[in-house]
Amino acid sequence: PEECAVFHCRGCWTVLGDSLQLCGQEPAGLSVLICFKVTSDVTWEDSLLVGLEGSLLGCTYYLLTCQSCGLAVGFILYSSGSDLAYLRGLFCFFKDSIICYLLKSQMVIEASKVNFPAVTLKE
């Protein structure tokens, strides 16, 4: 595919996932890449965190970290209001914590500057 990318940790360049696993559009107020699967270098603890402000206010989630350097790279939503319910159980990478390597052009670019084709959970 034209727009394939590999997602790397901003802190240490460990591979965390790829664009073939993208499965949804980011909700308003959250700058995230939503994926079905991630690599084994993405870890999370069993303890839940509670969102105290912003778009995750009142939500509970597991924090995703890079196994290599410990950088917080995203979350798995456990409970939320109905507006974010479709994200529950999916891997959400913070765009600010991810660098993308675009395969076709062999370019490295900030995740926040990449526009991936629209994907919905139905697809």
Over the range 24-49, which residues count as b (16 or more CB within 10 Å of their CB) and which as e?
beeeeebebbbbeebeebbebeeeee
Neighbour tally for 76: CB within 10 Å: 18
| Cα distance between residue 114 and residue 67, in whole Å | 24
Structure tokens belonging to residue 39: 């690599």
pLDDT by residue for the chain (123 residues), tens only, comes to 567 899 999 999 999 999 988 887 778 788 999 999 999 999 998 999 999 988 899 999 999 999 999 999 999 999 998 889 989 999 999 999 999 999 888 899 898 888 776 665 543
- Helix (H) or strand (E) holding 9, with range, is strand 5-9
Are the CB atoms for 1 and 105 separated by under 8 Å?
no
Q: Is the pTM of this model over 0.85?
A: yes
Q: Which domains does the chain have, with CATH numbers?
A: 5-112 (2.170.150.20)
